[in-house]
A = this chain, B = another copy of it.
Amino acid sequence: MSRPPKQNPPTTQPNGVSVIQSQARAPAATPRVSAPQQQQPQQQQQAPQLVPAPRSAAGGTATSTGRMKKPSADKDSDEYRQRRERNNLAVKKSRMRSKQKAQDTQQRVNELKEENERLEAKIKLLSKELSVLKDLFLEHAHNLADNVQPAGAAPDGASPAAGANSHGQ
């Protein structure tokens, strides 16, 4: 997956080309008529083509010239049509996957965002806990410093500092 290595520069090229395309297939057996979208006004016929030529048998007749012995065998070819159909299928498949992947990626973003929030919340909580504990610690330290004087120290009359501790867990 991922085919970054290759043709990209052309995107910048504002050329226009136009590779004609046409389609003149589907006799009657292929009722693949319903375009997923709307209805088709008319059925069209098409015209001759031009690209699907370089398709000869093996070391065929006139491959060099680019001409084939049978004048009526380009896109009319059964094989051509078959190949096209297969490719169209593959294309659809590929595009479907692509879309799916994009969706998944988008969802991944959402999930990650959620988890991020969760983590941040947790950090906040832990930070608070830590802060509380530290304060408590300092308080004790002060108490010790003030009281730990064996004889002459007033065990209680002093100041426990404002109290302060509210365990919130």
Chain A residues close to B by CB (< 8 Å):
7-11, 13-26, 30-38, 40-42, 44-51, 54, 66, 85, 88, 96, 102, 105-106, 108-109, 112-113, 115-116, 119-120, 122-123, 126-127, 129-130, 133-134, 136-137, 140, 150-152, 155-156
Indicate which residue in B7, B41, B127 contacts A37 across the interface (CB closer than 8 Å).
B7
Q: Are B50 and A44 in touch, CB under 8 angstroms?
A: yes
Q: Given known contacts A66-B41, A119-B116, A133-B133, is B17 in contact with A32 (CB within 8 Å)?
A: yes
Q: Are A25 and B18 in touch, CB under 8 angstroms?
A: yes
| Nearest 9 Cβ contacts at the A-B interface | A47-B47, A10-B36, A16-B32, A44-B50, A20-B23, A112-B112, A119-B119, A22-B22, A126-B126
Q: Given known contacts A49-B47, A116-B116, is B19 in contact with A40 (CB within 8 Å)?
A: yes
Q: Given known contacts A23-B19, A33-B15, is B136 in contact with A130 (CB within 8 Å)?
A: no
Q: Are B22 and A10 in touch, CB under 8 angstroms?
A: no
The interface centre, meaning the residue of A8, A41, A85 with most chain B CB atoms within 10 A of its CB, is A41
Q: Are A20 and B34 in touch, CB under 8 angstroms?
A: no
